[in-house]
Chain A
Amino acid sequence: MIQQRSKIAKFQSLIALLLMCVVLSLLSDKFLTFANGWNVLRQISVNVCISVGMTLVILTAGIDLSVGSILAFSGAIAAGLLKFGIALPTYDLYIGFTLLGALLAGTVVGAALGTFNGFVITKFKVPPFVATLAMLTIARGFTMLWTKGYPISSLGKEFSFIGTGWFLSIPILVWIAAIVVLLATILTNRTAFGKYIYAIGGNESAAKLSGININSVKIWVYALAGILAAVGGIMVTSRLNSAQPNAGLSYELDSIAAVVIGGTSLAGGRGTIIGTVLGAMIIGVLNNGLVLMDVSPFWQQVVKGVVILLAVIIDKANHKEE
């Protein structure tokens, strides 16, 4: 009985997701179509990437509020460099960027900002909430400075292929998310680094006495969150074929929601990547279903909030004996 319950608990997100899909396909004949399925997967792919990074951070008992801003800045950097390159008229210098160069530069910027987060958190003992809150406005400010407040659009066919193209009958965006999920799953389950993440979140002082270099693991985790936010930024920019200065606003909240719905404890040390993926899917399917059923966007927000609460309450009940 008890074992059965804990087995059900393991799959609760999956069951909830399947249940939602069944109900939605009964309520709307547009839901269960290939076109809509790919549509949903493409929509959630960005959130999945960010949320994977967020999961790693939250597993160490941290939080990263800056992912939305880092996403915007990295996307804008990639777009700006691709379109304009770097021109320094005073020195009579112009550096052009290939597509790969621009993408790489955007990712490096994300990694740098994430590393900075980790550095501030570990060296100056600033609480993650505060450090990344500061980065949230810093990176958004940089985005505004870089774009001067205007979108950078028309980035070329090659670039927009990432966001709209297909490979082996699967959207490129979904490929990217799937690869990120696969790598992160291997990282958390099969490597020493993954165990360190769980150990630090579970009991930092025991981890320290075990000889784990806490600071270096944490810096890496925030750097990874930054890199994944940058990947998300490139995905968003290429899908719209335009870098919006306001891209990624409040994405950090959606990704925290996905992590929490996926059963990861905000106290750290417990949770899985696959749980987060299911969490992101639940949010995605919910959004999609409510749109298909013509529910007002205002109500959609209310429903999303209720789902988050329900998920956490159920999760608490399952871990009561702890």
Chain B
Amino acid sequence: MLEALNITKKFAGVTALNAVNLQLMPGKVTAIIGENGAGKSTLMKILSGVYPDYEGKIVYKGQDVHFANPREAQQCGIAIIHQELNLIPDLSIFENIYLGRELTDQWGFVDRKAMRSNTQRLLERLKLNVSPNSLINELKVGQQQVVEIAKALLTDADVLIMDEPTSAISEQEVEVLFGIIEALRNEGKTIVYISHKLDELFKIADAYIVMRDGCVMESGEMQDVDHDGLINKMVGREIQLLSQAHRVVSKEVLLRLENMSLQDTRIKQNLIVNHVSFQLYRGEILGLFGLMGAGRTELLETIVGMHHARRSGTVWMEERALGLKSPQQAIREGIVLVPEDRKKNGLVLNLDIKTNVSLSRLSEVTEGGFINRKKDLNLAQQYVDSLKIKCSSPMQQTKNLSGGNQQKVVLARCLVTKPRVLLLDEPTRGIDPHAKNEIYKLIVSLAEQGMSIVVVSSELPEILGLSDRVMVMCEGKLTATFQAHEANEDNVLRAAIPKTI
């Protein structure tokens, strides 16, 4: 169906792809796996016309093709769902879906009615229960991802490339997506599926291709490999899988939330966080699980003093009420949030590692009003070493780092503030298994040093493997709390799924 021969691509002299060969079959789901920076996304961007400059040849339906832009690829029937969302926030769902290919009526005017009803059908097929008129910025990240998928389905593509489509969506939505993928496969479509979540691949993929350092290392049928085997092929080395922590945690309460609520920006009666109360013990890792829209991110943001105008309830730190009104005050009290979207909220990508690391504590490296460069550099170097941030030097710009290393820089910046409470929102989202493992180890060792940690994650194994206690949220409310040994996939998921339909 689609074949790539000897594809080589260089960015500013750095080889991203090295003589890659690839064959995709119709009626099959091919999984492409590899650590971040292995070249998966680059290869997909070439196949879908995003990068027109490359060496090598692409053969599609028996013919040599060269796509100058994504539109050409789309017209030939190759659609891609990018890892990053490409939606316009202030336009409605249907306007986004039809962007650049609007339907027109006989007078040449945009036919909003037809676009709206087609979109409605598409959303129903994807089981996304929102109006086609909703603006993108009113949707959760997970819902936006579904819109992105709807956009690709609209073109009736023969080849559908999905680059980490589930990195931001809940398990429930993943099931829906898998149903759709299966249906498409049965229609004979060629599907490429890129994901770090290996369990997903065993559910959905027929064949696999392993990439490493810009080369295809191996390919084969999914049925011939197992989980660990696949991981070994990916990283080229054995990695230690996370084991249950089973640690003894003190019963000393550090942080306590009392009746925390957060109003919706539009409808004041709607509570995004609905009367949540819980206690966080010293040195504890508290896992917070919930589906998209459960209010997990908002809960963390509320704790550090964001949205204080719409908030009610009290945060107590060692039985002292904190009336936090900004993340700045929260940091002063020893509470720091590591945000979900590191590029959007975590890093200043234009600045170097050094400045990003010391940003929250520049006062520490300032002497007599001036930044002491040596101290500044030492501080950064210390964290680069202890967190094993892979970089040429602390002066390297953060935008050139891989996802895992960027995440470590954000973590370093937060750790520099010497927090007592660390709030981690999806700390391993979109990073490779090796870096993930390193971050798990770091979280555990921080807790052992006495730091209290809340980890929000959409990945159940991560929550179950890491937490001393698991808390579940659903529709803004706290629905269950389990000790580590009581929690399992079944009871946690059960508590996370809304009861009302």
- Chain A: CB-nearest residue to B346: A206
Is B66's CB within 8 Å of the partner chain A?
no
Residue in B362, B366, B369, B399 whose CB lies within 8 Å of A322: B399
Is B107's CB within 8 Å of the partner chain A?
no
Residue in B11, B351, B370, B417 whose CB lies within 8 Å of A211: B417
Question: Which range contains the number of A residues in contact with the other chain?
Answer: 20 to 34
Is B363's CB within 8 Å of the partner chain A?
yes
**Chain A's nearest CB lies how many Å from the CB of B451?**
17
Is A90's CB within 8 Å of the partner chain B?
no
Residue in B330, B332, B347 whose CB lies within 8 Å of A203: B347
Task: Please tell me if the beta carbons of B339 and A202 are within 8 angstroms of each other in the complex.
Answer: no
Task: Please tell me if the beta carbons of A209 and B346 are within 8 angstroms of each other in the complex.
Answer: yes
Q: Which residues of A contact B326 (CB under 8 A)?
A: 208, 213
Task: Please tell me if the beta carbons of A202 and B360 are within 8 angstroms of each other in the complex.
Answer: no
Q: Which residues of B contact A199 (CB under 8 A)?
A: 348, 351, 355, 359
- Bound: A301/B358 CA distance, A: 45
Q: Which residues of A contact B359 (CB under 8 A)?
A: 195, 199, 207, 210, 212
Instruction: Given A211-B327, A211-B417, A321-B11, decide whether A206 and B355 contact each other with a Cβ distance below 8 A.
Output: no
Interface string of B270-301 (1 = CB under 8 A from A): 00000000000000000000000000000000
Interface string of A189-233 (1 = CB under 8 A from B): 011100110110011011111111100000000000000000000
Q: Which residues of B contact A210 (CB under 8 A)?
A: 327, 331, 359-360, 413
Is B449's CB within 8 Å of the partner chain A?
no
Task: Please tell me if the beta carbons of A206 and B347 are within 8 angstroms of each other in the complex.
Answer: yes
- Chain A: CB-nearest residue to B345: A205
Is B1's CB within 8 Å of the partner chain A?
no
Interface string of B321-352 (1 = CB under 8 A from A): 00000111011100011010000111111110
Interface string of A115-141 (1 = CB under 8 A from B): 000000000000000000000000000
Is A2's CB within 8 Å of the partner chain B?
yes
Q: Which residues of B contact A30 (CB under 8 A)?
A: none
Instruction: Given A191-B366, A191-B369, decide whether A208 and B327 contact each other with a Cβ distance below 8 A.
Output: yes
Is B62's CB within 8 Å of the partner chain A?
no
Central interface residue in B11, B304, B344, B351, by most chain A CB within 10 Å: B351
Q: Which residues of A contact B108 (CB under 8 A)?
A: none
Is A1's CB within 8 Å of the partner chain B?
yes
- Bound: A198/B350 CA distance, A: 9
Interface string of A230-271 (1 = CB under 8 A from B): 000000000000000000000000000000000000000110
Q: Which residues of B contact A269 (CB under 8 A)?
A: 348, 350-351
Q: Which residues of A contact B351 (CB under 8 A)?
A: 195, 198-199, 202, 269
Is A303's CB within 8 Å of the partner chain B?
no
Is B267's CB within 8 Å of the partner chain A?
no
Is B501's CB within 8 Å of the partner chain A?
no
Task: Please tell me if the beta carbons of A209 and B327 are within 8 angstroms of each other in the complex.
Answer: yes
Q: Which residues of B contact A186 (CB under 8 A)?
A: 370
- Bound: A196/B366 CA distance, A: 13
- Bound: A206/B338 CA distance, A: 10
- Chain B: CB-nearest residue to A216: B328
Q: Which residues of B contact A202 (CB under 8 A)?
A: 348-351
- Chain B: CB-nearest residue to A322: B399
Central interface residue in B326, B363, B399, by most chain A CB within 10 Å: B326
- Chain A: CB-nearest residue to B331: A211
- Bound: A205/B345 CA distance, A: 5
B1-27 with Cβ < 8 A to chain A:
11-13
Task: Please tell me if the beta carbons of B366 and A203 are within 8 angstroms of each other in the complex.
Answer: no
Is B65's CB within 8 Å of the partner chain A?
no
**Chain B's nearest CB lies how many Å from the CB of A1?**
7
Task: Please tell me if the beta carbons of B362 and A192 are within 8 angstroms of each other in the complex.
Answer: yes
Q: Which residues of B contact A212 (CB under 8 A)?
A: 328, 359-360
Task: Please tell me if the beta carbons of A211 and B363 are within 8 angstroms of each other in the complex.
Answer: no
- Bound: A206/B343 CA distance, A: 9
- Bound: A205/B12 CA distance, A: 30
B365-423 with Cβ < 8 A to chain A:
366, 369-371, 399, 413, 417
Q: Which residues of B contact A198 (CB under 8 A)?
A: 348, 350-351, 355
- Chain B: CB-nearest residue to A265: B350
Residue in A1, A190, A213 whose CB lies within 8 Å of B370: A190
**Chain A's nearest CB lies how many Å from the CB of B12?**
5
Q: Which residues of B contact A2 (CB under 8 A)?
A: 12-13
Task: Please tell me if the beta carbons of A213 and B328 are within 8 angstroms of each other in the complex.
Answer: yes
- Bound: A192/B12 CA distance, A: 33
Task: Please tell me if the beta carbons of B332 and A211 are within 8 angstroms of each other in the complex.
Answer: yes
- Bound: A205/B327 CA distance, A: 11
Q: Which residues of B contact A196 (CB under 8 A)?
A: 362
**Chain A's nearest CB lies how many Å from the CB of B15?**
13
**Chain A's nearest CB lies how many Å from the CB of B319?**
24
- Bound: A186/B417 CA distance, A: 25
- Chain A: CB-nearest residue to B13: A2
Residue in B13, B339, B362, B399 whose CB lies within 8 Å of A209: B339
**Chain B's nearest CB lies how many Å from the CB of A2?**
5
Task: Please tell me if the beta carbons of B348 and A209 are within 8 angstroms of each other in the complex.
Answer: no
Task: Please tell me if the beta carbons of B355 and A203 are within 8 angstroms of each other in the complex.
Answer: no
- Chain A: CB-nearest residue to B365: A192
- Bound: A1/B10 CA distance, A: 14
Instruction: Given A205-B344, A321-B12, decide whether A211 and B328 contact each other with a Cβ distance below 8 A.
Output: yes
- Bound: A163/B69 CA distance, A: 58
Interface string of B217-246 (1 = CB under 8 A from A): 000000000000000000000000000000
- Chain B: CB-nearest residue to A190: B370
Q: Which residues of B contact A208 (CB under 8 A)?
A: 326-328
- Chain B: CB-nearest residue to A269: B350
Instruction: Given A199-B355, A321-B12, decide whether A207 and B348 contact each other with a Cβ distance below 8 A.
Output: yes
A66-105 with Cβ < 8 A to chain B:
none
- Bound: A219/B339 CA distance, A: 26
Q: Which residues of B contact A206 (CB under 8 A)?
A: 339, 344-348
- Bound: A140/B11 CA distance, A: 51
Interface string of A1-42 (1 = CB under 8 A from B): 110000000000000000000000000000000000000000
- Chain A: CB-nearest residue to B371: A190
Q: Which residues of A contact B337 (CB under 8 A)?
A: 209
Known: A191-B366, A211-B328, A211-B332. 19 other contacts (CB 8 A): A2-B13, A186-B370, A198-B351, A199-B348, A199-B355, A203-B345, A205-B344, A205-B345, A206-B344, A206-B346, A207-B348, A207-B359, A208-B326, A210-B360, A210-B413, A211-B331, A211-B360, A211-B417, A269-B351
Which residues of A are at the interface with B, using a C-beta cutoff of 8 A? 1-2, 186, 190-192, 195-196, 198-199, 202-203, 205-213, 269-270, 321-322
- Smallest CB-CB A-B distances: 9 pairs: A192-B362, A202-B348, A211-B331, A202-B350, A211-B328, A210-B360, A269-B350, A203-B348, A210-B359
A-B contacts, 21 listed (Cβ < 8 Å): A2-B13, A190-B370, A191-B366, A191-B369, A191-B371, A192-B363, A195-B371, A198-B348, A202-B349, A203-B350, A206-B346, A208-B326, A211-B327, A211-B328, A211-B330, A211-B331, A211-B417, A212-B328, A213-B328, A321-B12, A322-B399
